[in-house]
Amino acid sequence: MPYKINPITGKHDYYQSGSSGSSVYSKNVAYVDPGLGSDSTGQVNNRDLPYATVNAASSAVSSVSVSHMGSTDLVILLQGDYTELVYLTNGIDIHCEAGVVFSEGGFTDLVSTAKNVRITGMAKFVGEYCSILFINSDAKVYMEFDSAEGAGSLCQARGAANVSMKFRNAKVNAYFNNGAGTCMTFRDTAVGFIEATEYIQSQHYVAFFKAGNTSYFSGSVTIKAPKLEIINDYTASYGSAQRAVIAIDRTYNAKINIIGDIVYSNTTYADNAVIITNQVYASNSVFNFYGNIYGNISKGIYSGYQAANCTMNIYGNVYSTSTAPLQCDSAAGIMNIHFHNSIISGPYVSTLAQGKHIKLRDCQVYNSAGANAFWVNGGGTASSLYAYNTQSQIASGLFIGNGNTTGFTVGCINTQCNYPFGPGTDTWGGFTQVATMKVIQTT
């Protein structure tokens, strides 16, 4: 059984988690059985007299004054179907035994005073309107569960929330506000560590980083899963809203780590596997991607309007089956994009514009349409492309310019390609008209 009786107090004040092996000590324990329990006859520290609802059990256990052990109280959810929105309370941990299923509801601190709470065990979330965890304050919440299948959302964190989640897998429909929902949203200064041992799938935005109570996101979040994926298994109509796997919007001194493959598998809507846009606060943010990035009918990475200085590191391959693996739109800000030991492949050329600085280190570049690997789409002032120890398997060349490439710097060091710029000569593509373009050592 997942708990033990303290031989001194005679109460269930020692408990060992079934999934992580961590120990939790409790003053008192209340039990919940949604089928056989009763909020009127339930008793604290009596498994034979469970409560019917989690909120009633939490209220009851917090009202019992016992000072032995001096740590958290505990509410244990017994096997059954739960539809409750549970209000987390500071000093009360929750454990879900095997067989606990939420067909609606979830956990939140919206009307309570949660500061440091642990939710452990093997719960499953299967309801379309399940909001598994919604934190809107400075609460620190650790949550582990088994899986989610068809839940509305996985994690919504605002304010100074500090959230850690561990689970096996999650498949989320992100159905909220006519489909404009997300699997996970992080706002303000939220801190998070989310880990799945198998996968995280969503119909709409696997993770969205954005403004909330403040004008930008300035937290630190790590998401770790073998696969983070946009799917179209659900039949609900989501209009023309974007469905990026990872969306980063309005950050300031933020740090985001994505560990695992990012896959855009939706075959109905063309969007982006990763989209970074609206960086308008001189953000100095860093975005690290440790895994491959796959676009289907979408781009691999799209960098939109930037008026700030951000850095993106890609430690994996970037693919698109039908369009550009990378697209950078014109803007005055700086986006530093560094590829490390990557394969960059797609049927269309990758574009970069003003303020975009790309470094290829130990990379391979492919283009199935035979076009150039990278293209300056006008407004290339103060932009650069450096290739170190890189191979380009493209017949026409590594780089081509179009329109204004004044001030653009290209460097090819220990790099193999037919032509640094384009076929025929190094001045092909309009470069003979650009006197201020700088070319460094080419070997």
**Could you read off the pLDDT of 374-391 as tens digits, one per residue?**
666 555 456 777 778 877
CA–CA separation, 296 vs 267, rounded Å?
7
DSSP string, 151-212: ESEEEEE-TT-EEEEEEEEEEE----TTT---SEEEETT-EEEEEEEEEEEESS-SEEEE-S
Residue 159 tokens, joined: 């304010």
Q: Classify residue 258 by its DSSP letter.
A: E
What is the H or E stretch that residue 61 is in?
Answer: helix 54-63
For residue 172, pLDDT beyond 50: yes
Say how far residue 396 (Cα) sits from the centre of its chain: 37
DSSP state string for 68-89: SS-SEEEEEEPSEEE--EEE--
* Confidence band for 118, pLDDT divided at 50, 70 and 90: very high
What is the model's pLDDT at position 22? 45
The answer to whether the CB of 99 falls within 8 A of the CB of 79 is: yes
19 pLDDT more than 50: no
Tokens coding 50: 């469970």
Q: In the predicted model, is pLDDT for residue 360 greater than 90?
A: no
What average pLDDT does the segment 24-52 reach? 90
Please check the confidence at residue 234 and state whether its pLDDT lies above 60. no
**Burial category of 76 from C-beta neighbours within 10 Å (exposed 0-12, middle 13-18, buried 19 and up):** buried
State residue 128's pLDDT score. 78
Q: Residue 144: what pLDDT?
A: 97
Please give the pLDDT value at position 261.
96
Residue predicted with more confidence, 128 or 205: 205
Q: What is the mean pLDDT of residues 360-380?
A: 68
> Which whole number is the average pLDDT over 177-183?
61
Is residue 333 within 8 Å of residue 309, measured between CB atoms? yes
In the predicted structure, residue 54 carries a pLDDT above the cut 70: yes
Angle at 72 between CA 66 and CA 77, to 5 degrees: 105
Predicted local confidence at residue 332, as pLDDT: 58
Phi, psi of 431 (to 5 degrees): -70, -20
Has residue 267 got a pLDDT over 90?
no
Nearest to 383 by CA among 350, 417, 359: 359
> 57 falls in which pLDDT band (50, 70, 90)?
very high
Tell me the Cα Rg of the chain.
Answer: 26
Max Cα distance, the chain (Å): 88
Q: What is the mean pLDDT of residues 350-367?
A: 78
Residue type, 159: G
pLDDT at 274 over 70: yes
pLDDT of 223 higher than 70: yes
**For the residues 320-348, what does the mean pLDDT come to?**
79
For all residues of the chain together, what is the average pLDDT? Answer: 77
In this prediction, residue 363 carries a pLDDT of 86
**What value does the mean pLDDT take over residues 44-62?**
94
